Structure 1
């Protein structure tokens, strides 16, 4: 076989031996327990979908939807190019329909359909009946279908969703004036929850103040003891009065019971009541970012004869959070050492928009925790799976009500915001990771009375210790709040605690929107080094003081922490450019600044699931265009750099008296000279030409990083970017696959402008096509990503990556093989519909022919929009966003 036909095959077998156990995600707010009479089924598969409104009665059971596309959810209406800002996404009405036949065993059960979220305005029909109308895209849509289903034939759910502009519910602001994009569709999970007629309710469905469902709170927390307060809402929809016993069993991870209590409750038919109890825990294992210990709380409802009629599991993290004015942040009864540093997060992902499956929520949280983040400011009421991940990984979550730079004086708008605040608290109140609420609208000129009402709602919905609400310093009604965001240091008050909600951006005059923090990964080495320096401690800080990691660490204890802007590159509505300020790109591929943040974490090794302990990274590509200075990021006490085998050594020792950021950037001046490397290469000493960085603690090398310059591109290597979480064969799970152009040694060749074509075989499918730049894929900074979705059958997936234009001297193909894992979640779907979808997966394309008049109208619309954008920019300046001072 000729050499140019050889294929370099790299096999990665993602088996149960190599991958971690798949993270356990809650379903409709709880974890299912067997043999309790409660079951949860995924409704994600085999939906019919069409863009635009439809004539006739698309909600009717006999409506002909045979020409519609078949999709699975989470679904974001469309696949989009990586550069999709400036309102490139679809805005308008869509219809989704699902045929299903529930298991006959469920007949006689209480049945709820639980959508985790539907973006925009929505109407949900079941078998032709309108059961729910909902306004807003970030909170659950729940409907009781017990008496609506037909057990003799197929049932149909029809959803009309509309993500177009509407000022009568939050967010409210026109999308072409938004600094983010909320996309559309049924973009989170859908569940069918089945249980007996006597059951633990759902807090969002019941709509009771500080009630419904299960409420876990804490009266006191210390290392010696803690009191866990419990309140469970039990409804009786049976035909007779019932006396039941509610059992609360708190268990360690090992399964060992810590303590069990029970309460009897008499519930009349058609009514509901509460079981209220408390559990005292001696020497509790406390939850904190450094040690995120979670107990299992099993809650079961039994009858007089001991039969279990309902039950589920809730994960509980015992912790206290207190903001003590000038004393700063206290966690678990002790002052917190240092600043609590983290980031902001818009979840939108390349190609997918906001429609991320649970595994991708986990991977996002894991990557951020790997980088040393301890707190995430979520935008907005976040997916439950992300909160589950935060609980397990030790990430505090700052939860916000939807809204940005918009207030409508119409009473219905305010009422819908108040409803969002209540339901935001109900859905996330039991999470250990909850840090504090932001119940007021971000950067918005709202009335003073709104701020007061928002705070009152927080107190009403969470009337227990360790629940804190915050608003912006200087905003209307800020005197009501004990915790304030984005402080102006000269105005600090002794009766307040402060948190910096955003820092890091350094935008120009809001026109071009350039900034030394906004750097696309593809711009290369030097721009990314500048971004990292800007976030850490820029050289111009003496002449132009700004907020950066160094200055924040030197703030008084009263300023307890900060979230920089932003974790990932993301799309925006009012500007044609995406926001490029992420420390990762839209595919979650790291930029240089990612490693700078990673270096700020503790060098002490722990049992944290996320990557932790000593780290070192050489931020130098050894190219003709690389700087003479060699930058290294490390959290070690000492860094030793060797240039060439047997060559010159450089040593850096951390100043133990330094009071700023934990690990300043390490720069070895004038250590790299291209002509010296060229001479070694021509002398045949390529194996001796490397950079070696070693991190030392206590005089011993604990970590090292070695880099070679890249040679001629030899082949493609293909890898999974899965954070050791296997692709689940549930028909909707997604994983990122990365192809990299490498030399014979395996060093990534960053400097090339190739395109990679992907082909797939087996139990997976590629998402997107050439119309959105998803396949073939341009090589950006040496790598080309593609998204792979699972089928419903576990098995082997084989991916072949090759150059779009192969040639005799071009890099050889790369092959990745891996196994998807079986789906342990029960599913309800029509197999016939799913098979149809498997044959027609190509995305529907809209062809728009524009005549001269339409083009002129579009030009005028853009001019009008630019006038409105100036108002956005003015408000951002007034709120201090991007000024960075």
Structure 2
């Protein structure tokens, strides 16, 4: 019996501009009316965890399988999911779908951005593709196998089992990261006419396929943009027409145009070069990441649009000039490139992040002043790179690999193929800074190093292809970039992490700094701090990352390094999971939910105090008091600020302090500011006992040119009384696409709204409406303990835009229990077309939603009203208790 599948045609703006969408689809942005159509295939998959040998067959009965949306990571896991606890093995996905009639006579592809491990893909019972890489796209031509009269069945077997024949190769239980599983990135159906612009990864030609953008000449006066386009004619006859290229600035104004006449015989493919010229161009830099829109149209001899797409273009030139150092757009770049390493996993969902979470990662990092991210140890999601283009974050792009080599020829062959796939996928991003084609910390043959570097040069023949390698690796002498600690911090000692005497022609960069473990088994470290451990450990982590007391690399030594040493990336941006250790890596400047630690603000203080008008992230002056005024807070008050002067006031009519920045003593733009012996809990106690609680605060004022430009005021937290809910969306709304996820955070607060950092409360969430809560008590996700005053959870949108009702409450209903909180949020319609059966998905979602029934909610409301009355009475009783305690105890 054939399943009828409907099309859900969500709003699609006919005049869609590249700037209206944050994320590319298969490396391009759809151009309305071009004859090229993109459909989102993420929603409505049947899923089975485990082996199922017959599931590839078209008529296989999958009616009892769960219905899921992708990105999908096989399973939800606890916040702490290290130690190889995740599932490894086969996972099956099936999708029954119909295609619209207007796609007849078109070439149709399926584009999977990532299927973890080795995968096999069947359409209507026919095996179309086997793939051996979990991080690069899987592209399948389904034109011949599609049915238009009946429904089609797509079956995918994704197997994330250990396999030494392809990268990364190393068993997960011996790996420093976890690669989870499933179809964990987007899937698109792409249809275009027989004469079309090709896909670079599908064509598999050296430095070829698709669209290749490069910059023969860049200056402030003019720029030349080279566009190399690969066309294929799969029609029945000769094609004559034109390629028409239009470059528009950020406002949509046309600033350059190019036309190329062409003639292409049937069954043939060819390359066409079109150069564009721009007068007085707005150039892309980390602090001014100006993106242009390149409109590519292929028209026939009658002027009819046959194919087309949009590309985002950042006009820029990055090069290293030996003794003169790094140059950006023909100008010396003297700022140190300070950044972080990034793994892609997130709490609960593992690697299965929707595009919005990748975007928020980039936004949060750029808010903190981060200018470079090393995307370790594998190719990251295209959505993250799109966001880096937008936020001005330079990226270092790596193939998959970590401390593993296999001498079997198939392993190196697949490694070379992965390098080519990485460059072809990411070559047009203006944020691309360096390539890392070698395998991290691996004893590979010298021949591999040479061939890896050669492969990058072949795939990126324009300008300088900056490839990086460790100094101790075989073949490192072949590379233009060497990873090393600054030589000034090594006291002349030779090691595999030190380049020794610097060579003029080599650029140096620290790939990882900041970690400080006792040994590689125990992993105790003052750099690894969980947010729940509180103020003192987090402050120490920040000092460690900044301080020259550490014998290797820290911010101070990076900023003090030679011109040839252009920067470095901290290990690590976020707490992340690992295969070979039972604990996650806690050294992130944010936790696994992306909640900041103290070190986040220390990094933020290194950004310039000038407001960057063209940067779509936070910039300008900042000041942050790293003291929560608890009984255990340090008497020395730490402040992070990028201002020239900081004034500190401790308590109203209390102590006042002044700090003025001096560049003579410290190479960091903004050293950690410490006001000695400034806070005393006993003074706070005295104010509280005398009824002057409102006079208790710490105020930091940041001054530039003698004027107060920013302030931060901290209050002590008193008696916890209620919960407060907020959505951590960074201004990017939740899209009702069945896949989008956002973080909800419940905070325990006092009467004034100050977060009660010291508590041991668990919070239970109830979500109703157009979203579902991810996780339950089985994985300690609901209820969830509040760490450092906050309890985060994730919610996923349904396919219907609308209201989402969230309720947070503490366990227990005592008279003095913390008051629950209710919050209303809304999801919005996505700007994309989808293929799935909305009735089937809706019915499945309704079965899964865990919520209180109507009677339960009414009963809960009645209980709350009774508790409110009791609290009013108990408020007076509580004051009697306080007075009695005072009469029998110390009053001051």
Give the TM-score, by structure 1 length. Answer: 0.91
Distance 1:818 1:594 in 2: 28
Matches within 5 A, 1:488-503: 488=498, 490-503=500-513
- Report the alpha carbon displacement of residue 737 of structure 1 after superposing the two structures with TM: 0.5
2:93 aligned to which of 96, 99, 104: 96
Distance 2:847 2:112 in 1: 25
- Corresponding residue number in structure 1 for 2:866: none
1:281 aligned to which of 273, 278, 282: 278
Distance 1:155 1:806 in 2: 53
- Corresponding residue number in structure 2 for 1:508: 518
- Tell whether 2:551 aligns with 1:545: yes
Contact map agreement 1:326 1:497 (CA 8 A) in 2: no
- Corresponding residue number in structure 2 for 1:412: 410
Contact map agreement 1:198 1:238 (CA 8 A) in 2: yes
Deviations 1:540-569 (A, max 9, x none): x1xx52211011100001000100100000
Distance 1:452 1:284 in 2: 37
Matches within 5 A, 1:212-361: 212-361=209-358
Matches within 5 A, 1:858-873: none
Deviations 1:592-636 (A, max 9, x none): 100000000000001211111000000001011111100000000
Per the alignment, in what secondary structure is the counterpart of residue 278 of structure 1? Answer: strand
- Tell whether 2:595 aligns with 1:597: no
2:472 aligned to which of 468, 471, 474: 474
Distance 2:704 2:186 in 1: 46
- Corresponding residue number in structure 2 for 1:696: 703
248-257 vs 581-590, which moves further: 248-257
Deviations 1:373-401 (A, max 9, x none): 00000022111110100000000011001
1:816 aligned to which of 808, 811, 823: 823
- Corresponding residue number in structure 2 for 1:534: 544
- Report the alpha carbon displacement of residue 475 of structure 1 after superposing the two structures with TM: 1.1
- Tell whether 2:741 aligns with 1:734: yes
- Corresponding residue number in structure 1 for 2:693: 686
- Corresponding residue number in structure 2 for 1:524: 534
- Report the alpha carbon displacement of residue 472 of structure 1 after superposing the two structures with TM: 1.1
1:442 aligned to which of 440, 443, 449: 440
- Tell whether 2:62 aligns with 1:79: no
2:582 aligned to which of 549, 562, 576: 576
Structure 2 residues not aligned, in runs of 5+: 1-18, 486-497, 851-892
Per the alignment, in what secondary structure is the counterpart of residue 285 of structure 1? Answer: coil
Contact map agreement 1:22 1:725 (CA 8 A) in 2: no
Per the alignment, in what secondary structure is the counterpart of residue 835 of structure 2? Answer: coil
- Corresponding residue number in structure 2 for 1:757: 764
- Corresponding residue number in structure 1 for 2:35: 37
Distance 1:668 1:575 in 2: 39
1:486 aligned to which of 484, 487, 509: 484
Distance 2:847 2:379 in 1: 34
- Corresponding residue number in structure 2 for 1:17: none
Contact map agreement 2:282 2:290 (CA 8 A) in 1: yes
- Corresponding residue number in structure 2 for 1:805: 812
Contact map agreement 1:602 1:614 (CA 8 A) in 2: yes
- Corresponding residue number in structure 2 for 1:708: 715
**C-alpha RMSD over aligned residues:** 1.2
Distance 1:22 1:799 in 2: 29
Per the alignment, in what secondary structure is the counterpart of residue 490 of structure 1? Answer: coil
258-267 vs 665-674, which moves further: 258-267
- Report the alpha carbon displacement of residue 489 of structure 1 after superposing the two structures with TM: 5.5
- Report the alpha carbon displacement of residue 659 of structure 1 after superposing the two structures with TM: 4.8
- Tell whether 2:163 aligns with 1:166: yes
- Report the alpha carbon displacement of residue 833 of structure 1 after superposing the two structures with TM: 2.9
Measured at CA, do residues 817 and 842 of structure 1 come closer, stay the same or move farther in structure 2, by a change above 3 Å? Answer: closer
- Report the alpha carbon displacement of residue 325 of structure 1 after superposing the two structures with TM: 2.3
Measured at CA, do residues 466 and 218 of structure 1 come closer, stay the same or move farther in structure 2, by a change above 3 Å? Answer: farther
Distance 2:564 2:303 in 1: 53
- Corresponding residue number in structure 1 for 2:384: 386
Matches within 5 A, 1:98-117: 98-117=95-114
Distance 1:493 1:571 in 2: 37
- Tell whether 2:453 aligns with 1:455: yes
- Report the alpha carbon displacement of residue 274 of structure 1 after superposing the two structures with TM: 1.4
Distance 2:175 2:601 in 1: 30
Give the TM-score, by structure 2 length. Answer: 0.91
- Tell whether 2:777 aligns with 1:770: yes
- Report the alpha carbon displacement of residue 362 of structure 1 after superposing the two structures with TM: 0.2
- Report the alpha carbon displacement of residue 490 of structure 1 after superposing the two structures with TM: 3.3
- Corresponding residue number in structure 1 for 2:627: 620
Distance 1:491 1:424 in 2: 32
- Report the alpha carbon displacement of residue 139 of structure 1 after superposing the two structures with TM: 0.2
- Report the alpha carbon displacement of residue 22 of structure 1 after superposing the two structures with TM: 7.1
- Report the alpha carbon displacement of residue 147 of structure 1 after superposing the two structures with TM: 1.0
2:117 aligned to which of 120, 126, 131: 120
- Report the alpha carbon displacement of residue 836 of structure 1 after superposing the two structures with TM: 3.8
- Report the alpha carbon displacement of residue 840 of structure 1 after superposing the two structures with TM: 4.2
Distance 1:137 1:419 in 2: 13
Distance 2:30 2:510 in 1: 38
- Corresponding residue number in structure 2 for 1:848: none
Segments ≥4 residues shifted beyond 3 Å: 656-659, 839-843
Distance 2:479 2:240 in 1: 43
Deviations 1:481-505 (A, max 9, x none): 1111124263322221101110000
- Report the alpha carbon displacement of residue 328 of structure 1 after superposing the two structures with TM: 1.8
- Corresponding residue number in structure 2 for 1:146: 143
- Corresponding residue number in structure 2 for 1:558: 564
- Corresponding residue number in structure 1 for 2:592: 586
Distance 1:587 1:247 in 2: 45
- Corresponding residue number in structure 2 for 1:830: 837
Structure 1 residues not aligned, in runs of 5+: 1-20, 844-885
Contact map agreement 1:583 1:590 (CA 8 A) in 2: yes
Deviations 1:29-75 (A, max 9, x none): 100011100110000001011111114x2111210011111100000
- Corresponding residue number in structure 2 for 1:861: none
Measured at CA, do residues 129 and 88 of structure 1 come closer, stay the same or move farther in structure 2, by a change above 3 Å? Answer: same
Distance 1:399 1:813 in 2: 45
Matches within 5 A, 1:621-660: 621-660=628-667
